[in-house]
Chain A
Amino acid sequence: MPNGLSSFLALLVIGGLCGLALTQTHRLTEKPIEENRIRQAQALLSELLERPAPTDLIWASGVSGGCGDWHFVRGGINGYAGPISYLALLKQDTLRLRITHHQETPGIADFLNHAQDPYLPDLDDTPTADWARLDNISGATITHQALRRMAGQAQGLVNQHRQRNSCEATSAE
């Protein structure tokens, strides 16, 4: 058998075995992983809302909350080391922000982990307009810029959501 073909077949066998192990493990762990993620998300929503969050939230284009005076927003912005996912609560014109996933440099971007660092909880209920001026001098890092862009993106998504659902017309009536 030619050398190249035998190498190819060997790679195929090894790749197949690895794929089989991964798919079988995925099948076993899929359900508990999903349950853990839902539990974590629900705890985070409740923390932001300061009361038990509804379990039947309907999400459309990353926004939930219908035409009420608060909206949950979930989205992502690129940081220094990849996408940063967030969950935000926009209550009238104020914003509460939590990071749900990031790959920023440990030790430098630890302030994103709200469980370890009070940086984000301390900014709770800051008007969205003020987020644009956040740490303009002292924290001029790509991660801080990402936080500012998150606030802008969250506000933009809520505005689009309210327009799409004709919320302003409904409230005027």
Chain B
Amino acid sequence: MQNNDFRRAAIENNPAWIQLLGLCPLLAVSNSVVNATGLALASAFVVIGSNTSISLLRRIIPDAARLPCFVLIIATFTTLTVMALEAYAFDLYSRIALFVQIIVTNCMILGRAEVFASRQTVGRALADALGTAAGFALALLTLGAVREVLGQGTLMADMDVLFGPAAASLEITLFAPPLALALLPPGAFIIAGLMFALVQSRISKGVPEQASTHRGDTAQPEIHPRTQTQDKNP
């Protein structure tokens, strides 16, 4: 069951490609692989920490005040991430600080807390968080790699900022940058749009029309969880 939770969160309900959540940091920070990796790790820490904590505390979180409680827990993990980055990865912090701080408002994380973690066991909440983190990282890294290659003509440049001096040798120089626009905000929108279209076309080709309709029905509890009872943990 936990494998299913992981696969569903990472692929079938990929937060960026399928649900279009967390697009602000996704578009802003994905101008290079190192920035994308930094944000992916930060988001992973927050979603895993908050999902697990919310699942652990689900029996004492009052229903009427659940959203403030979720935001408090998510904000705590975001602040812990900010402090750790500023202390131990200062160069990376200087580049992506603003977007790490706004992880607290990321709908993807609040959504998983509300829909899943607050009503499932710790094991399932953890599997869901790992899947969500992996799915978001996949989207971030793919977009980051494409934009870096097109905009800078390199791949994995400046990895030493994140992983120390030894990682500087990971940089691959491919060619002269063919499309500087890829590094700019309009380039991010265009490339992300093309990637979303590609993913959607793959899905619609792979799933027959009837199954597609059925998939839409099953997605409903993900969006309106409080109106559903079937996945509420007793």
Residues of chain A touching chain B, judged by Cβ–Cβ distance below 8 Å, are 3, 6-7, 10-11, 13-15, 18, 21-22, 25-26, 28-29, 32-33, 36, 40, 103, 106-107
Contacts and interface: CB of A to CB of B under 8 A. Distances in A.
Interface in B36-64: 57, 60-62, 64
A126 B87 CA distance: 36
B115 interface: no
Contacts of B65: 7, 10-11
11 contacts: A7-B64, A10-B65, A13-B60, A14-B61, A14-B72, A22-B76, A25-B80, A26-B83, A29-B88, A32-B87, A107-B184
A85 to B, nearest CB: 13
Contact of B62 (A10, A32, A106): A10
Interface residues of B, number: 25
B98 A36 contact: no
Given A7-B65, A32-B88, A36-B90, A14 B73 contact: yes
Interface in B58-115: 60-62, 64-65, 68-69, 72-73, 75-76, 79-80, 83-84, 86-88, 90, 94, 98
Contacts of A103: 98
Contact of B79 (A6, A22, A36): A22
A29 B89 CA distance: 11
Contacts of A40: 90, 94
B76 to A, nearest CB: 4
A contact face: mostly helix, strand, loop, or mixed: helix
B8 to A, nearest CB: 28
B178 interface: no
Task: Count chain B CB atoms within 10 A of each CB in A14, A21, A106, A107 and give the residue with the most.
Answer: A14
